Amino acid sequence: MRETGFFHHLGTFLLLAASILLLITTISAPVVHDIAILKVTLTNRTNFRHSSVTFGTFGHCVLGVAPAQTDQDYCSPKHISYNPSAIMAQIDGSSFSTASEDTTKRLTRVMILHPIACGLAFIAFLLALGSGMFGTFLASLVSSVTCVLAMIVMATDFVTFGLVKRHVNHDNSGSHAYYSAGMWTLVAAVIILFFASLIVFLSCFSARMHGGGGASKGNGYVGAQAATTPTRPRRRFWPRRTRY
């Protein structure tokens, strides 16, 4: 039973860690300017001006814009679905085909799954805290659904920003694109969610097995004890009559 409790607490901790990692991806640019899923270093970057573009869940930011004496940031309004290809074409002149631009714009709609997966992971964590059989089962179910959603949005993020990354790095514009912290926290969250779902489910199943085994063992012990106890003849509580 101690091992079952340890694995249950481990799975609960992993669910909390996954929700925190998904939260980091969710609050990427423009919520937090420097956190990005994809980051593009621009050609006018200097030691003073950290000119770059950060793409996040709800939009983008341009860091270190003019004037030269300051280090200002410009961020787009927060909304679902934007066009990263058109943004880079406007900033550094990167060329994108119509198909690539349409694909990246449509796939950014799927990023709404970032906050949804974050919320579901936290709900699974709260359910696992209950430590009851029903709560643990629900936690494993919710975490499994969350893992699937996180895998879907991770795949779409790699496709979306992979297209932007490939065009920027091969367009001879001088800019350099690379995956940033928001992408890797998402990847880590998917891996952790997978193991958390497995551990929580196994702890639920193991707790049920231990509970049933203990009861059967107890019943068997009582039955064996009863079988080995010698039987004594019953005494009569009335005197035996004699005939004369």
**In the chain, domain spans:** 2-212
Beta strands in 32-148 (DSSP E): 38-41, 52-55, 60-65, 72-75
With tokens 């991770």, the residue in question is 154
Cα(185)–Cα(17) distance, integer angstroms: 10
Q: Which pLDDT value is given to residue 233?
A: 54
Q: What pLDDT is attached to residue 93?
A: 87
Element (H, E) at 220: helix 181-228
Q: What is the pLDDT of residue 212?
A: 44
Q: Which two tokens stand for residue 241?
A: 């009559």
Q: Is 130:170 a contact under the CB 8 Å cutoff?
A: no
Burial class (CB in 10 A: 0-12, 13-18, 19+), 232: exposed
Q: What is the pLDDT of residue 209?
A: 56
Q: Considering the domain 2-212 in this protein, what is its CATH number?
A: 1.20.140.150
Q: Which helix (H) or strand (E) holds 125?
A: helix 113-129
Per-residue pLDDT of the chain (244 residues; tens, 9 = 90+): 455 578 889 999 999 999 999 999 999 999 999 999 999 999 876 665 678 999 999 999 998 876 655 668 899 999 999 999 999 999 988 889 899 999 999 999 999 999 999 999 999 999 998 767 788 889 999 999 999 999 999 999 999 999 999 999 988 778 999 999 999 999 999 999 999 999 998 887 665 555 544 344 444 444 444 445 555 555 554 455 555 4
